[in-house]
A = this chain, B = another copy of it.
Amino acid sequence: MRSIVLTNEPIDYTALTEQVRSHEAGAVVLFLGTVREMTSGRRTLALDYDAFPAMAESTMREILAEAESRWPIVAAAIVHRLGHLDLGEISIALAVSCGHRAQAFEAGRYLIDELKQRVPIWKKENWDDGTTEWVHPGAEGPSA
């Protein structure tokens, strides 16, 4: 089972986790990214996520294939939320099952680390002072 989805709807991580459970797997790792209130001392009210959907999906498929070449993955499912997210909401859910726990932890960590480095999705902070700011690591200065 392999699943990669972009969605504008709230993420059902239980359904995602059930997708990867298997009699072949002794370990499931689920990662959730959630909208955190404080970032470097500033208060966030909400995030907006934008994506380049076709390339985001193909890049996630690529990353998943890389992970499969390194760890014996039984099943994996990734869903990324797009649009407007309130505090505490889930922006990404990633579930992976393997025979043993070390594999599941390492594969899960690889998937989220690579996804954050390479998948063309962007978030915009909605700060509590009314300003908004695209988050572009390494690019200079604040935006609008």
Residues of A that sit less than 8 Å from B by CB: 13-14, 17, 21-38, 87-88, 97, 99, 101, 104-105, 108-109, 112-113
Contacts and interface: CB of A to CB of B under 8 A. Distances in A.
A37 B22 CA distance: 9
A99 B36 contact: yes
A17 B34 CA distance: 12
A13 B99 CA distance: 19
B33 A30 contact: no
- Copies held by the complex: 2
Interface of A is mostly: mixed
Contact of A25 (B22, B34, B113): B34
Given A26-B34, A30-B32, 14 more contacts: A13-B14, A14-B14, A17-B32, A21-B34, A22-B34, A24-B37, A27-B31, A27-B32, A28-B30, A28-B34, A29-B31, A29-B108, A31-B105, A105-B105
Contacts of A113: 101
A111 to B, nearest CB: 11
Contacts of A101: 31, 33, 109, 112-113
Nearest to A116: B101
A30 B35 CA distance: 17
